[in-house]
Structure 1
Amino acid sequence: MTHESDDVNEAIRGELSLLDPAVRSSRVRYQRLFDPEFVEVGTSGRRYTYDEMMAELPDHAGSTAEGPRYDPSAITGVVLAPGLVHLTFETIFDGRRSRRSSIWRKQDEATGWRMYYHQGTPVPPDMP
């Protein structure tokens, strides 16, 4: 396995962790997966900052064991530069499909890989 494959796999592990309700509901667990400069454009079109995400993630859909869960598929990644990985994938959540894109950044060994940017785009039901 190449170093680049290791980096992509680490970013994928982080991404999948952030889709897990047990992680999403625990600030101690999810905080270490977000870069302090994190920004998201959600499927609603809303822009989230790091501080907003830290305060609101447990209240977002998909953050409870009893509710609907994200079902990810077709996750692929590419190393853009040392310490920078771009992931693309799709999710189905509560019957709605979205295409997603994340950039993961690793600034040092101590902090590891963290999500720097995320965007979700809803896919209309009639679109392949």
Structure 2
Amino acid sequence: MDDRSRHLKQLEERLFDPAVRTSRPALEELLSAEFREIGSSGMLYTFGDIVDQLADGEPEGIARTLTGFELKMLSDTLALATYCATRRYPDGREVKTLRSSIWRLEADERWRMLFHQGTLTR
């Protein structure tokens, strides 16, 4: 895995951290103002929708892991990340999703997520 792949994987994993997920400043560092997400529910979310939803928090004890990370450069400033995410709940239940994100190198030389989609899998 090259340095750019490692860096973008680390940024994806930061979004798994409950402290980051509930912090507007942290989300502004990671998500583009133009961010859009198609969630595993099939709903479309904007940056504001996601920040508002995540600010409410989630149940404690949820653990997230990322496996099978791959990065494909679409241009010098756009990258497509794909991976499998697993959410483990305190009761032992697991939910797996295939994830894809488009990251953009923005004018301030920071990579920010522009688009994300999650699809439930088995």
Whether TM exceeds 0.5 here: the answer is yes
Pairwise CA RMSD of aligned residues?
1.8
The residue that corresponds to 1:58 in the other structure is 55
**Counterparts of 2:4 and 2:75, CA distance in 1:** 11
The residue that corresponds to 1:107 in the other structure is 106
Q: Deviations over 1:34-75 (max 9, x none)?
A: 0111100001111101111122223354xx6x3312111111
Aligned length, in residue pairs: 117
SS in 2 for 1:29: helix
The residue that corresponds to 1:117 in the other structure is 115
Q: Deviations over 1:71-106 (max 9, x none)?
A: 111111111101111100001113011100000001
SS in 1 for 2:3: helix
**Counterparts of 1:11 and 1:98, CA distance in 2:** 18
Q: Which runs of 4+ in 1 moved over 4 A?
A: none
Q: How does 1:47-86 map to 2 (within 5 A)?
A: 47-59=44-56, 61=58, 66-86=60-80
TM-score (norm 2): 0.86
Among the aligned pairs, what percent are the same residue? 34
SS in 1 for 2:34: strand
Q: How does 1:89-108 map to 2 (within 5 A)?
A: 89-94=83-88, 95-108=94-107
Q: Using the TM superposition, name which of 95-104 and 28-37 deviates more.
A: 28-37
27, 33, 36: which one aligns with 1:39: 36
TM-score (norm 1): 0.82
Q: Which runs of 5+ in 1 are unaligned?
A: none
Q: Which runs of 5+ in 2 are unaligned?
A: 89-93
Q: Is the 8 A contact 1:40 1:119 kept in 2?
A: yes
